[in-house]
């Protein structure tokens, strides 16, 4: 347990030293704020096309990376990770936590010239966030009404207390506003504006050529004076990761977000002075690699077996040899970058110890049979990334050494979700859990029992624990920030001791960006943010 | 008139095949776990069960498989390809947007492969077992054995990254606004590497076939007669040998039009071209049945059209092959 902590410290220290060395070697990259240059076309790697581009309807980085430049949220995060007003200037909550008032920015217009008002906020919250937006419908479950006493005030009324901190940390992702006047008639899901978004943001939508590119141009009437600097942003659709790396090198692309190219290309471009490769600007997009256990399997419902599996896998070895410097040991569902919630004590950890794993399996009654095999399981890896694929093979070999035979069953995205979350046709599953600034947004549903079958990324493991449910429910409506933090510390400890899901690796997405780009990666969700201050040096 | 009736009969004969292909693809895709709503959820990064149920109803996925198939075929009879769930547009529009890139790439690669293969084949046959033949045959073997994605990536490394001569991907340079001749030239520049990548394997095949059939025809009696008449060698080759040796080459075009559509999936991915191949791949991943069936339908039509054209060329090359009575 202790050596894990040391490992973490050693890594942090190494990374800090490396950052300091970089600032000495490349001072222009660090002190690049000199004089912003107007103009230029910024080319962005767009790995997977979306069915629509409106971030009030779909919370995903694939949508933010385009829609987040065109539409704006009420609140975003500043460089330190604190909420800062965008379309809302300030806010306050009543002591009972049931009423939260947003004072909106004045003199803001939609790209079609109509003024932005509290009616837009009301409409978006009630018709989009509460009804359609993924995670939004859970977050706003107890929202009963949005009052608009005047054009610049929106009062959110909740049936149960809504922690202000939770709402403000959720709104950067789940708080984008859409124009009411373009959505109030007809089916919202089928509205053509979804593919040609109209917003208040620094860039105006120009064109979407399916399979090729999306283009947005500077909004000359943007409310932030002087912004934006870029003339145009072009998102190029490139599905092949190696092809994207080649286009970066050939100068056709400036930026590949969210670990969009292969691990080997990332390592190679990191040494190339024409690029900056780092995890900075993605702190708000932390994710853990997971190992999920199906409790319907008798063997896996035994805590000794789950602990044995965790002990049997040499995670530091895997990280050092396969993931490099961009990953570190995971310590639980709440990642270490979550400064507001990361607890001082994470509860039990599971360092590599093959003998202990074998002992635990023996204790649980699964002695090695003929050929050294104790039992067999099916492992379903999610197809989201190279690291998951490598990890599943690593797990297969590591568990083989303690007598658990693993069959790896690979699927594409649709097949994986169906088999794990609807059919429960898995023993072990592995994928990513993405953390969204507050555990209540999308983390606790992985642990809360009673989730409807077929809802992806929820507790479908067959694990029920009344104590865990109580902690989760209490924390979701606790309006005292200190008490919330304490409840989530309990959550983390219980998750680690009961181990329904193991979170062995913590990662932050990697950005690969041209060294000519300035003012980039300066907020924790920079890839998703508006890029109003981004500029390109000659 | 004869041509039209032939076209009509050809089309009628291929209808049952087309029907079988569509039903086959439809049923095959039913075996893949998950549907388009699952794929949609994967893309969104989560959503609740009620939304999923609502969406399934919206896309008609709550109906039984025979009913879905029946609905699809009934729509097809009325020439309605349906609605694409990934793109939120009619399938016909989606395909029409992607078709030009694929046709451009296919035409360019086929003509490159055909003409380069023809010339190299003739040179090899003329110098059979001498050094030009050895070099060309070896090169052909190398091209044939190289996987096209690897060739594409290597071409990008050499010509785009090191030499910076040609773009690494895309159909045109969108950071500049161009029109007319400049746009055409720009698109041509972008197509050079993909054309080479897709065409080289086919070039290898054409040159082997051309070489073999040239050698065969060169030994026939009428060539000896032509030479005996005292015709000069160029005339013999062009008028007598080439014309007869071309027949198997033309046959190949018809056969390879289909193969090329398959090969374009890889090339379109490596060079990020917005073509049908990538669209087909994407619609399988996204379980967008309507789009996939639409592509199968259009590709089948395309192959039928190419084969029909090949038949016409046949008649021109060899008057003994009629267009039928």
Facing residue for B42 by CB, picked from A194, A250, A413: A413
Residue % of chain B over a pLDDT of 70: 95
Facing residue for A417 by CB, picked from B38, B86, B157: B38
Q: What is the pLDDT of residue A515?
A: 94
Smallest CA–CA distance, residue B145 to chain A, in Å, is 22
Query: Are A163 and A478 in contact, with CB atoms under 8 Å apart?
Result: yes
User: pLDDT for B263-305, tens place per residue?
Assistant: 788 888 888 888 888 888 888 888 888 898 898 888 888 887 8
Nearest residue in A to B83, CA atom? A190
Q: What is the pLDDT of residue A95?
A: 93
Distance (Å) of CA B68 to CA B20, B62, B72, B88: 16, 9, 6, 19
DSSP secondary structure string, A268-310?
Answer: HHTT-TTEEEESTT-GGGEEEEEEEE-TTSTTTTSHHHHHHHH
Contacts of B34 in chain A (CB under 8 A): 411-419
Nearest residue in B to A456, CA atom? B46
Contact flag B85-A412 (C-beta cutoff 8 Å)? no
Smallest CA–CA distance, residue A418 to chain B, in Å, is 5
Q: How many residue pairs bridge chain A and chain B with CB atoms within 8 Å of each other?
A: 170
Smallest CA–CA distance, residue A191 to chain B, in Å, is 10
Q: What is the pLDDT of residue B13?
A: 81
Facing residue for B269 by CB, picked from A58, A59, A240: A240
Token output for B1: 């008139």
Would you list the domain boundaries of chain A? 37-66+201-282+509-538, 72-184, 285-506
- Whether A389 has its CB under 8 Å from any CB of chain B: the answer is no
CATH class, domain A285-506, is alpha beta
Q: What is the pLDDT of residue A22?
A: 44
What does the angle CA B205 – CA B207 – CA B213 come to, to the nearest 5 degrees?
Answer: 100
Contacts of B289 in chain A (CB under 8 A): none
Q: How far apart are CA A226 and CA A49, in angstroms?
A: 31
Q: What is the pLDDT of residue B177?
A: 65
Q: How far apart are CA B322 and CA B312, in angstroms?
A: 9
Q: How far apart are CA B54 and CA A416, in angstroms?
A: 21
Which letter, b or e, does each residue of A364-394 get, where b requires 16 or more Cβ atoms within 10 Å of its Cβ? Answer: bebeeeeeeebbebbbbbbbbbebbbbbbeb
Contact flag A50-B286 (C-beta cutoff 8 Å)? no
Among residues A194, A85, A74, the alpha carbon closest in space to that of A122 is found at A74
CATH class, domain A37-66+201-282+509-538, is alpha beta
Among residues B158, B174, B242, B5, the alpha carbon closest in space to that of A246 is found at B158
* Number of CB atoms found within 10 A of residue A205's CB: 24
Nearest residue in B to A48, CA atom? B43
Nearest residue in B to A58, CA atom? B44
Contact flag A415-B43 (C-beta cutoff 8 Å)? no
How confident is the prediction along chain B (325 residues), in pLDDT tens digits per residue?
Answer: 567 777 777 778 888 888 888 888 888 888 888 888 888 888 777 667 777 888 888 888 888 888 888 888 888 888 888 888 888 788 999 899 888 888 899 889 989 999 999 999 988 988 888 888 899 989 889 988 888 888 888 888 888 888 888 888 888 877 666 777 888 888 888 899 999 998 988 899 999 999 998 888 888 888 888 888 888 888 888 888 888 888 888 888 878 877 777 778 888 888 888 888 888 888 888 888 889 889 888 888 888 788 888 887 877 777 776 555 4
Facing residue for B168 by CB, picked from A61, A190, A246: A246
Nearest residue in A to B269, CA atom? A240
Q: Which residues contact B241 (CB under 8 A, 6 or more apart)?
A: B214, B217, B218, B223
Facing residue for A250 by CB, picked from B86, B94, B161: B161
Contacts of A416 in chain B (CB under 8 A): 34, 42
Contact flag A413-B285 (C-beta cutoff 8 Å)? yes
Distance (Å) of CA A100 to CA A118, A147, A170, A219, A436: 14, 10, 14, 31, 21
Facing residue for B43 by CB, picked from A48, A251, A434: A48
Contacts of B269 in chain A (CB under 8 A): 239-240, 243
Q: What is the pLDDT of residue B219?
A: 85
Contacts of A457 in chain B (CB under 8 A): 45-46
Among residues B157, B257, B153, B141, the alpha carbon closest in space to that of B201 is found at B141
Smallest CA–CA distance, residue A212 to chain B, in Å, is 6
Q: What is the pLDDT of residue A240?
A: 86
Contact flag A134-B164 (C-beta cutoff 8 Å)? no
Q: Is B46 exposed, middle or buried (0-12, 13-18, 19+ CB in 10 A)?
A: buried
Contacts of A245 in chain B (CB under 8 A): none
Contacts of B275 in chain A (CB under 8 A): 211
Q: What is the pLDDT of residue A34?
A: 67
Bridge partners of A297?
none
Facing residue for B168 by CB, picked from A232, A252, A417: A252
| Low-confidence residues in chain A, pLDDT < 70 | 1-34
Q: How far apart are CA B79 and CA A353, in angstroms?
A: 65
Residues 223 through 262 of chain A touching chain B, CB cutoff 8 Å: 232, 234, 236-240, 242-243, 246-247, 249-252
Q: What is the CATH number of domain B92-317?
A: 1.10.3720.10
As its CATH architecture, domain A72-184 has Alpha-Beta Complex (3.90)
Residues 397 through 426 of chain A touching chain B, CB cutoff 8 Å: 411-419, 422-423
Contacts of B99 in chain A (CB under 8 A): none
Among residues A114, A120, A117, A180, the alpha carbon closest in space to that of A150 is found at A117
């Amino acid at each position: 347990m202790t050596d894990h902590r040391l490992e973490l410290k050693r890594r942090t220290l190494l990374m800090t030293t490396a950052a300091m060395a970089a600032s000495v070697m490349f001072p222009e990259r660090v002190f690049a704020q000199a004089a912003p240059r107007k103009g230029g076309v910024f080319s962005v790697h767009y790995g997977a096309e979306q069915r629509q581009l409106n971030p009030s309807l779909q919370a995903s980085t694939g949508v933010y990376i385009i829609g987040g430049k065109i539409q704006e949220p009420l609140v975003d995060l500043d460089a330190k990770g604190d909420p800062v007003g965008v379309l809302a200037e300030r806010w306050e909550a009543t002591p009972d936590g049931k009423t939260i008032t947003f004072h909106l920015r004045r003199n803001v217009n939609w790209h079609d010239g109509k003024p932005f008002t509290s009616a837009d906020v009301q409409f978006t919250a009630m018709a989009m966030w509460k009804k359609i937006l993924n995670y939004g419908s859970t977050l706003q479950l107890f929202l009963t009404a949005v009052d608009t006493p005047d054009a610049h005030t929106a009062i959110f009324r909740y049936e149960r207390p809504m922690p202000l901190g939770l709402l403000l940390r959720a709104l950067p992702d789940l708080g984008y506003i859409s124009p009411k006047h373009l959505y109030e008639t007809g089916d919202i899901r089928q509205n053509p504006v979804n593919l040609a978004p109209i917003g208040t943001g620094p860039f105006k939508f120009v064109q979407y050529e399916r399979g090729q590119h999306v283009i947005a141009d500077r909004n000359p009437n943007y409310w932030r004076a002087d912004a934006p600097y870029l003339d145009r942003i072009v998102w190029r659709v490139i599905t092949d990761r190696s092809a994207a790396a080649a286009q970066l090198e050939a100068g056709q692309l400036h930026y590949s977000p969210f670990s969009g190219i292969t691990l080997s290309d990332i390592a190679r471009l990191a040494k190339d002075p024409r690029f900056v490769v780092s995890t900075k600007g993605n702190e708000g997009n932390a994710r853990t690699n997971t190992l999920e256990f199906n409790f319907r399997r008798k063997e896996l419902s035994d805590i000794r077996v789950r602990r044995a599996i965790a002990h049997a896998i040499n995670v530091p070895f895997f990280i050092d040899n396969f993931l490099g410097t961009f990953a570190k040991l995971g310590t639980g569902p709440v990642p270490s970058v979550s400064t507001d919630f990361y607890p001082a004590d994470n509860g039990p950890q599971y360092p590599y110890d093959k003998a202990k794993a074998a002992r635990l399996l023996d204790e649980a009654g699964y002695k090695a049979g003929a050929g050294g095999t104790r039992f067999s399981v099916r492992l379903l890896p999610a197809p989201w990334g190279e690291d998951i694929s490598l990890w599943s093979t690593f797990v297969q070999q590591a568990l083989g050494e303690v007598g658990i035979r693993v069959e790896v069953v690979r699927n594409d995205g649709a097949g994986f979700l169906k088999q794990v979350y609807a059919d429960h046709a898995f023993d072990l599953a592995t994928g990513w859990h993405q953390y969204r600034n507050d555990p209540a947004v999308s983390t606790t549903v992985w642990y809360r029992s009673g989730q409807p079958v077929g809802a992806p990324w929820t507790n479908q493991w067959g694990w029920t624990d009344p104590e865990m449910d109580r902690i989760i429910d209490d924390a979701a409506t606790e309006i005292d920030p200190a008490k919330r933090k304490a409840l989530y510390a309990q959550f983390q400890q219980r998750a680690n001791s009961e181990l329904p899901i193991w979170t062995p690796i913590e990662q932050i997405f990697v950005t690969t960006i041209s060294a000519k780009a300035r003012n980039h990666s300066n907020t924790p969700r920079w890839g998703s943010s508006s890029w109003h201050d981004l500029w390109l040096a000659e | 008139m004869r041509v039209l009736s032939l076209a009509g009969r050809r089309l009628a004969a291929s209808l049952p095949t087309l029907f079988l292909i569509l039903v086959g693809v439809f049923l095959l895709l039913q075996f893949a776990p998950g549907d388009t709503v699952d794929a949609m959820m994967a893309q969104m990064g989560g959503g609740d069960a009620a939304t999923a149920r609502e969406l399934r109803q919206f896309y008609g996925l709550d109906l039984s498989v025979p009913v879905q198939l029946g609905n699809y075929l009934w729509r097809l009879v009325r020439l309605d390809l349906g609605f694409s769930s990934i793109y939120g547009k009619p399938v016909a529009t989606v395909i029409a947007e992607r078709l030009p890139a694929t046709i451009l790439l296919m035409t360019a690669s086929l003509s490159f492969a055909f003409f380069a293969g023809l010339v190299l084949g003739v040179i090899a046959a003329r110098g059979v077992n001498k050094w030009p033949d050895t070099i060309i045959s070896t090169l052909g073997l190398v091209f044939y054995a190289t996987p096209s994605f690897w060739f594409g990536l290597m071409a990008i490394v050499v010509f785009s990254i090191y030499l910076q001569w040609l773009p690494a991907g895309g159909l045109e340079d969108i950071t500049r606004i161009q029109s007319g001749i400049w746009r055409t030239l720009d698109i041509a520049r972008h197509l050079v590497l993909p054309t080479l990548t897709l065409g080289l394997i086919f070039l290898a095949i054409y040159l082997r076939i051309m070489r073999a059939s040239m050698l065969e025809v060169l030994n026939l009696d009428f060539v000896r007669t032509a030479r005996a008449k005292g015709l000069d060698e160029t005339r013999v080759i062009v008028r007598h040998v080439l014309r007869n040796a071309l027949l198997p080459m033309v046959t190949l075009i018809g056969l390879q039009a289909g193969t090329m559509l398959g090969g374009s999936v890889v090339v379109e991915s490596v060079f990020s071209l917005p073509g049908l191949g990538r669209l087909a791949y994407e619609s399988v991943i996204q379980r967008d049945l309507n789009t996939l069936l639409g592509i199968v339908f259009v590709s089948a039509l395309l192959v039928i059209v190419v084969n029909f054209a090949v038949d016409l060329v046949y008649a021109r090359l060899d008057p003994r092959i009629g267009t039928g009575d």
